[in-house]
Every structure is written in structure tokens, then in C-alpha cells.
Amino acid sequence: MAKTKASSNGIAIKKKKPQSARERNEGIPFDPNLISGLNINRSAVERRGATLAKRRSVKKNYQAAWLLKAIGFIDLTTLAGDDTTGNVVRLCAKAKAPVREDILEALGMADANITTGAICVYHNFIKDARKALGNSGVPIAAVSTGFPAGHIPLKEKLKQIELSVKAGADEIDIVISRWMVLNSDWKALYKEVKACREACGKARMKTILATGEIPTLTKVAKASWVCMMAGSDYIKTSTGKEPVNATLPVSLVMTRCIREYYELTGIKVGFKPAGGIRTAKQAISWMILIKEELGNEWLDPYLFRFGVSSLLGDIERQLEHHVTGRYSASFRHPLGGTTSY
């Protein structure tokens, strides 16, 4: 039976049964009291974050298995000013066949139908991506709402979302108005994100906090909570365009907010670190974070993604080393040297 928990402003929050199906986050009423007492100890978070890459190690066959799984979490991305239709078509080909066939055959995974979690492009390339992906089942994510800075009117943000959904985007990556976080205007942030969620319709929404431009971890935590209350299906660290992008300490704060939101509501919200994750070793560190903080259920493309471009090339290199015992040059792997995200 569903439980009801009273929030501190007197609004009753009906806690759902644990999700058995892939439900959307419909959000909850805005409650400033849920965030008023948040205060993050940066030094403690940084100490915990520093241990994540050191306390656990994955070797040999287990490492290969983890890396194959990591491929399914990748939002393979191109968000550069010199993007072309040809670049996007090439990106889609790699998303459908992310690892060379000879490597998969050596691993006994030739029939595993491994693809990336999605491809991520600007609005103008949605139709090109849809045509290139065909019936592969790889979702299309489109950045929207004045990406990356978000300094456009809300009316224009909502129009961008609606156009991208109409063009065929399965997922929408929005950017918040950072000034609302800097000014602690949480009610305004809630209203903005909720309006964007409604504009997305059936498309799943990832909300980018741009944590590299948020001065404190406490504000990161509060922004995470507000975006989840407003109905975000994922919360995402970065656009990839900030001076500092995804870090383990920031990711630790955001995943614990996701865990607490789930404990309060029974709703599972996804997490997407983006920007700066370039190596297979880093990918495993983030997967360990998810496993330890949220559990195995979150190690699913429906609830966890990487926003990356160059990561896939290094994963393929590591898998080839596992098979042959030799490291290959990165230029031998298509898309292995791009740095757009």
C-alpha cells in the first residue's frame, strides 16, 4: 500500500510503491522546506569522492564486462560549431556499431546488439539523425532552451522544446537559468523547469545544472532537489562548455539527492554526468559511484547516462587490449579523437 508522508509545509506527499516499470517523474508540489535545511560539507564530500576511484578495482574479464556495459550508458555527442550532416551521420553509424566486429567476436558478444544509450545533437540535426539511425532503437537527444548559457526568454525556451519534439527528439536536454540558482530564487527555478517538463510531452527531460558555474555544493544540492520536484527525468551535471564539468564530488552530492528523493517519493530519477569523462578508467569510477550510492537498479540506460564523445574510443582501445594484449593508437578507432563534449 502506498505510504503518505507529510512535508514540512503541510502538503501531503503520497509515496508510490517502488517502481516496477519505467515510470516518468511527474514531480511533486514545490516545498521550500525540503531544501531549507540542506548544508553540504565540502571537505567531507571531497574526501569521499577521492576514495571512489581507489577503494574498488575491476580487472580482466570483469573489466571487459563493465566496459561493454558502459557503452550502453553513453549519450554519444557532437555539439560543435562546425557540426555537419556528415558528422552526424558518422556519429549515428558509430552509435549503432560502437565496437569493431572482430573485437566483439573475440569477446563472444557478436550477437549482443550493443549500441550506445543515445546520440545527442543540436536541433538542426534531429532529422538527419532520425534518418541515419533508422530502426536501430537508439534514442535521439536534443539540446534545447538556449544551450549552453540559457539566456533567452522562457517563451523561446518552450518553443525550442516543442520544435525539437515535433522533429523527432526522444529526449530533451534543457539548461536552467543559472541566475536563479545564484540568487537562490528556488520558486522561479521550479516554475521554469516545470514549464519545460510540460513542453516536453512524452520526450524524457534531462535538466542540466551547469555545476561548474554554481559556487557551492549546497546550491548544487538545492538545485537538484528543485529540478526533481519540478519533474526532471534526469539531473545532469554540465553542458560540457563550462571551465569545470563533471567531477566525482559534485556527482556524489547529486546522486545522494536522487536517493533521498526516491526515499521520499518512491520515484527514480536518472543521473547524467557530462563533460571531461574521457577514459575507460573514469567511466568505471562513475559506475562504481552509481552502484554504491544508488544500487544496481540505476545501472541501466533508463536511469544513468554519460554525456561524452571521446570516451567511446578509449573503451574500444581497452577492449582491444583485453583481446590482443596490445594497445592500439586512438586514431584507429572512429570517433576516438573527437573532443566536442
Active site residues: 173, 236, 272
Question: What residue ranges in the chain does DSSP mark as E strands?
Answer: 3-6, 12-15, 74-77, 118-121, 140-143, 171-175, 204-208, 234-236, 270-272, 306-308
The three cell numbers of residue 205 are 527531460
Q: Are 52 and 39 in contact (CB under 8 A)?
A: no
Residue 5 main-chain phi, psi, to 5 deg: -120, 125
Q: How far apart are CA 44 and CA 133, in angstroms?
A: 44
Q: How far apart are CA 116 and CA 93, in angstroms?
A: 11
Q: Which of 252, 263, 248 is nearest to 34 (CA)?
A: 263
Distance of CA 179 to the CA centre of its chain: 22
